[in-house]
């Protein structure tokens, strides 16, 4: 029987020369393909020795390192379900994810072990390991005693490989369940669509707890047997320095904006580059055009979601049109519908719906929510609003979901408003996204006080900082007498966005 474990496919693409460099780090370390093979075998053996139930979740909140990458691959290899968590999440956020996902294994950094292990043990997790970005931690200590031989566990295409939490517009975060088949199909389509070639080298500068850095970038390089230049964090100077050794780069728009501020970003620096990919948030046409002028390269913009991995892409060969996200990828059906569920005419705006082998298996333990997000004929409602032009190029014009995308991270206003509304003296709040030159969009909070109460914006920000991941904190806070409302009494966020649109201009 064919093994549909994603890891089996990635490993089959390792080059013949296992001693060649697979990952080169910014600290001067080289990891060979053999290192990846052996270390993932050892970690997979460790996981399997823990007697975990079928479908066990391995939740991981660690700094970016090659060992963290190996842990992801080892989890696939051992047939368990990987659950990556943003390193910015604080205790209330982690408590929710661990309580909801009930992982059998939690891996965290040593400095967080105290509070993370407390949360994990309370939720019934039996195994908590540490892993730091200096190649230390109990996970590696334990794996060192395991065999470096391991047979990849048999998995079917429908078996779960990962759960990615993506916040809901109302209520709490939902875990998007992605299967081995979802991810392998997407990786193979992109390998072809983006014309990955022998000798390609990827600069990996994104975090590895979201689809972009974890799947699109890593799977892309591995399924092509390509070396990665691995940066622990995005540093524009270092990226520019490494460009001459690379051929492929992927980033959210903020990374491109910051790279353009580097005088060293020149045609000469990009002379070996083959492909620059952008996504996760809208790429401004100014950035697209300036990049073309400075480097001679046209950024290829694509569009995806945690629930679906990549959905559309501008062509590799053919015109890459700025401001559009290109065409539906091979195998993906994409349509734009009106509120009555009818297809809209060419060029008109409607809701984007998708179907394909990349579309997720549903939300973790939320069958009702899952059902709501699919149409009767099996299309997933993305919550994005867009249009398709006469040449078939898709443009995203907005979102029906109340979501702010800041520097490529999603911020759900409802979550932040919930925290603000719980603060003493706050009657009501609204968080809206406004344009920002660096992050594309940032959150701004507007609130009204309870009668007689006095609110202090700085204090509110400080309180939020103690509770929430840093990227979710509104950049500004306004206390007003009243919020604009429609005739139904609903807060008009569009009016607030308009009022504050020039704040960071």
Say how far apart CA 406 and CA 86 lie, in whole Å. 14
Of residues 189 through 208, those in contact with ligand AMP by CB under 6 A are: none
SS3 238: helix
301 binds, among ligand MCA, ligand AMP, none (CB under 5 to 8 A by kind): ligand AMP
Q: Is residue 287 involved in binding ligand AMP (CB under 6 A)?
A: no
Q: Is residue 165 involved in binding ligand AMP (CB under 6 A)?
A: no
Angle at 89 between CA 52 and CA 276, to 5 degrees: 95
In terms of CB distance, is 147 or 494 closer to ligand AMP?
494
Stretch in the footprint of ligand AMP (CB under 6 A) among 120-128, 150-158, 214-222, 296-304: 296-304
Buried b (16+ CB within 10 A) or exposed e, 407-441: bbbbbbbebbbebbeeeebbeebbbbbbbbeebbb
Of residues 179 through 238, those in contact with ligand MCA by CB under 6 A are: 206-207, 210-213, 233-234
Say how far apart CA 404 and CA 412 lie, in whole Å. 6
Ramachandran class of 195: left when φ > 0, alpha when ψ lies in -120 to 50, beta otherwise: left
Cα-Cα-Cα-Cα dihedral sign, residues 385, 352, 363, 154: negative
Q: Is residue 436 involved in binding ligand AMP (CB under 6 A)?
A: no
In terms of CB distance, is 105 or 309 closer to ligand AMP?
309
Smallest distance from the beta carbon of 296 to ligand MCA, in angstroms? Answer: 25
Q: Is residue 247 involved in binding ligand MCA (CB under 6 A)?
A: no
In terms of CB distance, is 234 or 419 closer to ligand MCA?
234
* Interaction mask 28-67, ligand MCA, x per CB under 6 A: ----------------------------------------
What is the arrangement of strands in the sheet containing 309-313, beginning at the earlier edge strand? 30-32, 21-25, 227-230, 201-204, 248-251, 275-278, 300-305, 309-313, 327-328
Burial of 461 from C-beta contacts in 10 A (0-12 / 13-18 / 19+):
middle
Stretch in the footprint of ligand AMP (CB under 6 A) among 328-336, 379-387, 440-448, 473-481: 379-387
**What is the dihedral angle through the alpha carbons of 437, 250, 40, 33, rounded to the nearest 10 degrees?**
-140
In terms of CB distance, is 33 or 303 closer to ligand AMP?
303
Query: Which residue among 95, 132, 133, 301 contacts ligand AMP (CB under 6 A)?
Result: 301
Residue numbers at the binding site for ligand MCA (CB under 6 A): 206-207, 210-213, 233-234, 252, 254, 279-280, 304-306, 406-409, 439, 442, 470-471
């Amino acid at each position: 029987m064919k093994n549909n474990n994603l890891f089996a496919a990635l490993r089959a693409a390792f080059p013949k020369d296992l001693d060649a460099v697979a990952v080169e780090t910014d600290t001067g370390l080289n990891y060979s393909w053999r290192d990846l093979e052996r270390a993932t075998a050892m970690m997979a053996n460790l996981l399997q020795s823990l007697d975990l139930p079928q479908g066990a979740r391995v939740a991981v909140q660690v700094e970016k390192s090659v060992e963290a990458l190996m842990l992801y691959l080892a989890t696939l290899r051992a047939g368990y379900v990987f659950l990556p968590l943003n390193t910015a999440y604080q205790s209330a956020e982690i408590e929710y994810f661990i309580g909801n996902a009930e992982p059998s294994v939690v891996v965290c950094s040593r400095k967080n072990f105290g509070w993370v292990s407390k949360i994990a043990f309370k939720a019934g997790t039996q195994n908590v390991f540490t892993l730091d970005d200096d190649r230390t931690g109990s996970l590696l200590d334990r794996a060192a005693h395991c065999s470096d031989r391991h047979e990849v566990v048999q998995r079917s295409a429908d078996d779960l490989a990962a759960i990615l939490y993506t916040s809901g517009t109302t209520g709490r975060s939902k875990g998007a369940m992605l299967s081995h088949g979802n991810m392998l199909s997407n990786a193979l389509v992109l390998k072809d669509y983006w014309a990955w070639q022998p000798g390609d080298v990827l600069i990996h500068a994104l975090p590895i707890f979201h689809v972009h850095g974890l799947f699109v970038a890593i799977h892309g390089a591995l399924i092509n047997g390509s070396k990665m230049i691995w940066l622990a964090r995005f540093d524009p100077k270092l990226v520019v320095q490494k460009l001459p050794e690379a051929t492929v780069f992927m980033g959210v728009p903020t990374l491109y904006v910051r790279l353009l501020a580097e005088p060293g970003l020149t045609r000469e620096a990009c002379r070996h580059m083959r492909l620059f990919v952008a996504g996760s948030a809208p790429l401004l046409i100014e950035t697209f055009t300036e990049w073309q002028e400075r480097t001679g390269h046209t950024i290829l913009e694509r569009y995806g979601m945690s629930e679906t991995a990549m959905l559309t892409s501008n062509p590799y060969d053919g015109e890459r049109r700025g401001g559009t996200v290109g065409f539906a990828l091979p195998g993906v059906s994409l349509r734009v519908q009106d509120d009555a569920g009818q297809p809209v005419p060419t060029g008109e705006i409607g809701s984007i719906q998708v179907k394909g082998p990349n579309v997720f298996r549903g939300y973790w333990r939320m069958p009702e929510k899952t059902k709501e997000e699919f149409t009767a004929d099996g299309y997933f409602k993305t919550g994005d609003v867009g249009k398709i032009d006469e040449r078939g190029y898709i443009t995203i014009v907005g979102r029906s979901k109340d979501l702010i995308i800041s520097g490529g991270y999603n911020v759900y206003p409802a979550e932040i408003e919930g925290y603000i509304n719980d603060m003493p003296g706050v009657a009501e709040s609204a968080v809206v996204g406004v344009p920002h030159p660096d992050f594309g969009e940032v959150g701004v909070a507007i609130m009204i006080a309870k009668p007689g109460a006095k609110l202090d914006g700085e204090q509110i920000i400080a309180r939020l900082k103690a509770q929430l991941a840093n990227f979710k904190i509104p950049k500004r806070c306004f206390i007003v007498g009243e919020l604009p409302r429609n005739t139904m009494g609903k807060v008009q966020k569009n009016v607030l966005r308009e009022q504050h649109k020039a704040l960071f201009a």
